Structure 1
Amino acid sequence: MKPFEFKAGDQPWQTGTLLHWYVELDWSDPRHKALRELVTTSNQALLDAGFPITPVELQWLHITVDQISIPADQIGPEPRNGLVDEVSARLVGIEPFTVTVGSLLSYHSGVIADLSPDEDLAALHAAARSGVRAALGDEACRYKWGLQHLTTAYAHAEADSDAAQRILRRVRPSHVPLHIDAIHLVDVTAQTRDQSKTVTWDRLATISLEGRT
């Protein structure tokens, strides 16, 4: 593991906030009880072993559907409304779905959980990216989207990834469900101090997945 570096598009994220489309985790949903246990147990096991990680607080766990790479203070109310309208129109026909969270992986910059299957998450991203491009142009689409994951902890110093993985592999259950029924437009702040790496946000809009026709 090496210290995590937040990115704004393809550049280091140093100041200001950025708009994102996130999947937030609904902890009131009883289906997510096992997920809560997986996240808290795994992070505590690494902390007890002395690993230099900053666990993501439960309220800030998320899946990044897309990042709008233009600084948030350059996007006024009218473009933001247009952004929500464009993405909402492209989500028509996408219904709520469930993915499997796990296995936990000791990654180069912290701990992530794999997410599968990929198809519905990819459809969310494609809809969001198309809407962002239509509303704000190509400059807003510099975020490099890849295989989706759930980050459970950020590294704030170097550590032995293999040793961390051996601990993570012993956490059971290793695979749990996550139900997704909405995406949220959020205004994100990245906390980049060495031992306080995390993201927090203000929610601006919610689009429910209802298979609208």
Structure 2
Amino acid sequence: MLNNKLNGLLISVSLLALLSACGQAKMQGTGTGDQTTKPQVQTNASEPNQPVKSPVQDKMKQTSIKVYFGDENGEKLVEQETVVSYKEEDEKYSSSLAALSKAPDSKRIALLKGITIKSAVLKNQQLTVDISIAPEARMGAGGEDLLLQAMKKTMFQFSEIQSLEILVDGKVVDSLMGHMELSHPIKRD
């Protein structure tokens, strides 16, 4: 019995060290890569004087969705309507997730801040999201739970998504930050 507990603890510590190392390696390489199709996010708190649209903005599609942030104490989710913009239909999901990384005000916590969305691909009603987690983006158990809830609630607004597979740096992991068990895939309730 003690041997099993010791083995479980050793595996957990090893996994946590591995996840921490993966996030640090990604941070060194963030200066490279194609950043030409960065998702645009616009909240309802927009200014009355809107700029003239450029031809590129005219080709952008927009979808109104609900996004979720942590409250100022990090204890519960706070819902907010927002509009996400994207060029291609398959960019809709990464744009929606990117909206979770920018809090509209200081009373809300952006749960995806410091988390890079590498890809979000829908295939056979399953959205596979590959992320990279910077060391400073790691949270405690409560924050990790809110992050998972926010991702699920945001993505399951789209009726075409029946399950959500979350990868970290292309790998299936047991937990995003070492606190909450991660189902593979997460199914719509």
Q: TM-score range by the shorter chain?
A: under 0.3
- Please, what TM-score do these two structures have when normalized by structure 1? 0.23
More strand by share: 1
